Amino acid sequence: MNKDASGTPSRGPLSGIKVLEMDGIGPGPFGTMLLADLGANVLTVGRSGPANPFGSVPVGSRGRSGMIKLDLKSDAGRERVLKLIEQTDVIVEGFRPGVMERLGLGPDVALERNPRLVYARMTGWGQTGPLAKIAGHDINYISLSGALHSMGKAGSPPPPPLNLVGDYGGGGMVLALGIVSALLETRTSGKGQVIDAAMVEGAGTLLAPIFGMKSAGAWPVERDGNMLDGSSFYYRCYECADGQFMSVGSLEPQFRMMLIEKLGLAAESKDIMSRVHTDAEMHQRFEAIFKQHDRAHWIQVFDGSDACVAPVMSMNEAPQHPHNQARKSFTQIGNETHPVRTPKFSRTPLVSPADDEADREARLAQWGIDPAA
């Protein structure tokens, strides 16, 4: 294992960076998980009392060095956090606006203790605005961003895309990028700053290319008519004879020609290529063709092809796919399946989740914490 600047074994490009995380749910812990995946030393501060039922879930809480539980309303608990703030590079909190201030742990107090501190705040609506202190969840935030309205069939309620768009894509990932950016800036200025990360804005950022197409007149606001929303007969999922599905994404003409040939329709290629992407007849014909055989058949038909067709795999199946196995995209730890830490770095490789325990004591020691205490 490589060594970081302090001589500690390197866990990735963020080795040597310390992150203090206030225990929470959703995007904050996901963002700090990404930082831990990249090598940061993440310590979680939990509130004394009952455990957070949505907090330290397996896999999603991986990479943390540990958790200390404190009574944040007590003078002793507050001072303990401030002492940790003095030695950390980053603090991440996801409470409603004003909570950290009422605890005596707001940005002004924290930055006075540590002027180089990156103080990252993760909320749904942001620190300001009419909705700032109102409760919400992923589905609400992506509703106001315009993202949810763009999904699903016309005449039906928009289907929530799990909580990937608001919590994780527009939340945790944007938060992690903001933190790394602020850390880079601190190297130049020597000063810390506050990050106001809002899921409603992060989801909007993910939608920026779509807003661009809309502005150019290439994306109608109405659902079920755009090339990427499932209304195109060459960009959607098709059911197979066994009830499984194949995904089709043959957007470019040359790839669409391959799709047509693989489906046995080469003689009609000129006509099919001239059809608009919403053509109802082509939807029906493709549906009928895919239902003639099971998924295994279609996997074999399109194997090695540039037709942009792939099987829709469950979370149980994905780790077994030959491509994922070849890249070691998943690792099994007991009964937990972990997606691999990503991306891959040539010189500062990331540590496997299976090796997280190996240096936990050394990481806690960097915080001045005795793991045996």
Q: Is 167 a catalytic residue?
A: yes
Residues in the chain: 373
Q: Which of 247, 112, 123 has the alpha carbon at shortest distance from 174?
A: 123
Strand pairing of 330-333 and 336-339? antiparallel
Please tell me the distance from the alpha carbon of residue 38 to that of residue 10, in angstroms, as a whole number: 10
Q: What angle do CA 1, 28, 143 make, to 5 degrees?
A: 135
For 34, 201, 234, 331, the CA distances from 334, given in Å and listed in that order, are 22, 38, 40, 10
Instruction: State the catalytic residue, choosing from 137, 149, 283, 293.
Output: 137
190 Rama class: left (phi>0) / alpha (psi -120 to 50) / beta: left
Which residue in the block uniquely carries the two structure tokens 């993440």? 42
Long-range contacts of 295-300 (CB under 8 A, 24+ apart): 295/240, 295/242, 295/244, 295/245, 295/246, 296/242, 297/240, 298/240, 298/246, 299/246
Q: DSSP class of residue 160? A: P
Q: Quick check: 361 and 371 in contact, CB under 8 A?
A: yes
Q: Quick check: 8 and 30 in contact, CB under 8 A?
A: no
Q: What 3-state class would DSSP assign to 90?
A: strand
How many Cβ atoms from other residues are within 10 Å of residue 184's Cβ?
Answer: 9
Q: What 3-state class would DSSP assign to 274?
A: coil
Q: Quick check: 179 and 195 in contact, CB under 8 A?
A: yes
Q: What 3-state class would DSSP assign to 298?
A: helix
Instruction: State the catalytic residue, choosing from 4, 23, 167, 356.
Output: 167
Known catalytic residues are 137, 167
